[in-house]
Chain A
Amino acid sequence: MHQWAAYSGWHVLCLPVAISCLFPLVWMISSSLKTQQTVFTDYSVLPAHPHFNNYLVAWTQGRFGIYFLNSLFYSAVVVVGIVSLSAITAYAFSRFSFRGSGFLYRVLLSTMLIPIPGSFVALYILLNSLHLIDTGSGGLLPRLGYVLPQINAGLPFGVFILKPFFDKIPKELEESAKVDGCGALGVFWHIMLPLARPALGVVALLTSLSAWNEFLLAYLVFSRHELMPLQRGLLAFHGTHLTDYPLLMAGMVISIVPIVVIYLVMQRNIIQGITAGALKG
């Protein structure tokens, strides 16, 4: 009885938190079904006359088709890039002791303090000198110019999450693998990576979130809309003075679907990763 009461009490405490998290989502979905007039006057959660057509209009008017594919591509490349590079870097920092490794690790982490918008001008000059800025022709180089800085910016975070995880893996496992004939890369691939799956899941999810929502760098690098990511589509409804809220909300609902799906698919790994201390740093 006492346990049941504690359990219920805990859930009652959690309920307002859950509601406050869910309410913006519910409001967004509700607003996406209203008109530009009713969105300011009808405060009901379920509108009397829902306009599902808003989703179709948002998709076509916001050119979501091309933007959606672009975002899928960019996010996939950025996630693969960050997860693979940060895993191998974190492994190196965790298992190899070399002169200045501690200093190098701190320098790497300190780059997390520099946000991409803070280095816009320098980044623009660098990307331009590498011919990675969109000048209106070719697709590969500007795309590369977009994903490389994101991978670069996400790397310290990935290392920050993964290194403590690798630190905790017993060295005996590594030594056994070596006895069985594994090289350093073999140990990394066969032993370390499978054991670090929960932490890799956390890095993958958080990275995919930031890559999916990114648009500032896209503005800097791209000039053609056909290369832009999904977030650019949302701005079609958000002008300097005029904002089409129902279409903006419909667009936002469309844009969060992949992230929600990723979260649901990777939910187990994420919870494992968090409970195993991946986010303790």
Chain B
Amino acid sequence: MTGLPVAHSKNGGGSRLNKFSIADLRLSIEKWLGPSIGNRQSAIGNTGVLAVVFFIISSGLSGCAPQSSEPTPLRVWHSLTDREGAFHQLASRYQKETGIAVRFELYAPTDIYEQKVRSAAQIDGLPEIYSVMSGEMRELASFIQAGHVLSLEETMSRNSDAWRSIFFPRALAVNTLRPGNPFNVPPGVYGVPLDVMNVQIFYNKKLLAALGVDPLKGPATWAEFIALGKSAKQQGLIGLVSGWAELWMIDCFASNYAIHLMGMDKVEATYQGEVLYTDSDWLKIFSLFAQLRDSGLLAEGIVSLGNKQAEQLFANERAVFAFNGTWGVNVYKGMNPDLDYGVMMPPPFIHSRPMVTWGGAGASFVVNAKAPRREEAVAFLQWLTAEPQQRQLTEATQNIPANRLAASGLPEKLAAFADDMDATVHPRLFSVQEGPTVIEAFDKGIQSILIGEATPEEIAQHLEQLKRREASLHIP
């Protein structure tokens, strides 16, 4: 209370706080301001004085909270606010078992979280464990180069790869930098996956049967798939929904078919500038979207459809297909528990070639290399990814665990996704990365095709021009 102005009580008793009244305080403030004007009612009402007192006292009280005697916790930052309860339960268990306190600090939405992480990195203020949200390897690599990410290669390799072997290989691969990577980062594992995901096509069994297709199989080829557009339209149904207002979901769909049609090597060669976007294979990829548009299979206005709206349409049994990720199982269960659906890989364009789908680690953690307690952080992550904890997380969150052992006995729908984990691809797995400007133009170009604003040829030429311009800017 030392910050309060000294008030003199009416009887001149000085600052006797036990008798300190609002009237005294008002008197002292008025003295400080100068003489009052005639008989005019004082401008300082009791309310005003109370406001000042409230400000001062509350400021003081907020600093008077008793200091906690609990041990300093390991801090974990992530954006998974919907898993808060499960994380807190696990942290409590860990403290009981080891005596080490862990505090999960969750921030959503993701873009705000990213800003916080980048800001904290600039002042070396990152917690012991955090995540680098970007889907691109260059972002993780920049954190590694700045010394903010601990290499887990040695820990993974101990005891004949004991820790490494528990994970789905693809989940670990998206957290691994390979020898000769373009970022000149020492090769090794830098992140620990918590769960895995992939993006496939959900189909409503009842609606599919109404279209005359075996609901146990779904359409087997691309041609069968787009042929359903006409009959869906005739029956007043929406064919395919997906959140294609979000560019990354378009990128998933296109990447799947690009790798399916050309193979990983040719896609990477395009990124390196050795194959042109005007190549006939790329034109086929862009043409798939023109076919989708013309088939009538796509939901109207799909390029302005957010994924949450798309999920709503599928859950309400208005759409036959939904291109969506593993999380959809949980979402549809919440929106419509009685929804009867199946899951299938995107139908192949060429039957003889293997189909792939976008996926890998759902959420991953990295350890702050500059944190004094980094070894404790690694030990916690080892515990968190062990089978019992992974099973607990799966039960609470309905995600596929990153630990393969914990993935046995999953519910049928989640198991369908887990079974296809080996067929997943992810931009982080490429040895070369496409530039962000080209990626954006690629995805927006597809949106233009979908709304009939541009032809596949125009988009291919535009990308090629952009690619050349980007390359010329990088020549020293």
A residues whose Cβ falls under 8 Å from a Cβ of B: 36-37, 40-41, 73, 76-77, 80, 117, 120-121, 124-125, 128, 133, 136-141, 143-144, 177, 180-183, 185-186, 189-190, 193-194, 216, 219-220, 223-225, 235-236, 238-244
Contact partners of A125 in chain B: CB under 8 A: 119, 122-123
B160 located at the interface, meaning its Cβ lies under 8 Å from any Cβ of chain A in the complex = no
Does B58 contact A186, Cβ atoms closer than 8 Å? Answer: no
Give bound CA distance, A242 to B325, whole Å. Answer: 12
Does B33 contact A189, Cβ atoms closer than 8 Å? Answer: yes
Does A80 contact B55, Cβ atoms closer than 8 Å? Answer: yes
Contact partners of A136 in chain B: CB under 8 A: 72-73, 75, 103
Contact partners of B65 in chain A: CB under 8 A: 139
Contact partners of A236 in chain B: CB under 8 A: 81, 84
In chain B between 327 and 379, which residues have their CB closer than 8 angstroms to a CB of chain A? Answer: 327-328, 330-331, 334-337
- Could you tell me the dominant secondary structure of chain A's interface residues? helix
Does A124 contact B123, Cβ atoms closer than 8 Å? Answer: yes
Contact partners of B105 in chain A: CB under 8 A: 223-225
A-B CB proximity, top 10 nearest: A239-B82, A140-B63, A124-B119, A241-B327, A186-B34, A183-B34, A139-B65, A223-B105, A121-B119, A190-B43
Contact partners of B75 in chain A: CB under 8 A: 136, 223
Known: A120-B119, A190-B43. A41 touches B316 (CB 8 A): yes
Does B34 contact A182, Cβ atoms closer than 8 Å? Answer: yes
In chain B between 42 and 72, which residues have their CB closer than 8 angstroms to a CB of chain A? Answer: 43-44, 51-52, 54-55, 58-59, 62-63, 65, 67-68, 72
Contact partners of B335 in chain A: CB under 8 A: 36-37, 40
Contact partners of A77 in chain B: CB under 8 A: 55, 58-59
Does A189 contact B316, Cβ atoms closer than 8 Å? Answer: no
Number of A-B contacts (CB under 8 A): 139
Q: Which residue of B lies closest to A124 (CB)?
A: B119
B312 located at the interface, meaning its Cβ lies under 8 Å from any Cβ of chain A in the complex = yes
Contact partners of A240 in chain B: CB under 8 A: 79-82, 108-110, 327
CB distance from B138 to the nearest CB of A (A): 19
Contact partners of A76 in chain B: CB under 8 A: 51, 54-55, 58
B36 located at the interface, meaning its Cβ lies under 8 Å from any Cβ of chain A in the complex = yes
Q: Give the total of B residues in contact with A, Cβ under 8 Å.
A: 60
Contact partners of B123 in chain A: CB under 8 A: 124-125, 128
19 chain-A/chain-B pairs, Cβ below 8 angstroms? A36-B335, A37-B334, A40-B335, A73-B58, A77-B59, A120-B115, A120-B116, A125-B119, A128-B123, A128-B125, A137-B67, A144-B59, A183-B34, A220-B116, A223-B77, A239-B81, A239-B108, A241-B325, A242-B327
B380 located at the interface, meaning its Cβ lies under 8 Å from any Cβ of chain A in the complex = no
Give bound CA distance, A244 to B334, whole Å. Answer: 8
B315 located at the interface, meaning its Cβ lies under 8 Å from any Cβ of chain A in the complex = yes
Q: Which residue of A lies closest to B37 (CB)?
A: A180
Give bound CA distance, A182 to B336, whole Å. Answer: 71
Give bound CA distance, A220 to B112, whole Å. Answer: 8
0 or 1 for each of B277-298: is its CB under 8 Å from A? (1 = yes): 0000000000000000000000
Does A242 contact B62, Cβ atoms closer than 8 Å? Answer: no
B93 located at the interface, meaning its Cβ lies under 8 Å from any Cβ of chain A in the complex = no
CB distance from B391 to the nearest CB of A (A): 20
Contact partners of B55 in chain A: CB under 8 A: 76-77, 80
Give bound CA distance, A97 to B36, whole Å. Answer: 26
Does B330 contact A36, Cβ atoms closer than 8 Å? Answer: no
Give bound CA distance, A54 to B211, whole Å. Answer: 40
Give bound CA distance, A37 to B337, whole Å. Answer: 8
Does B82 contact A241, Cβ atoms closer than 8 Å? Answer: yes
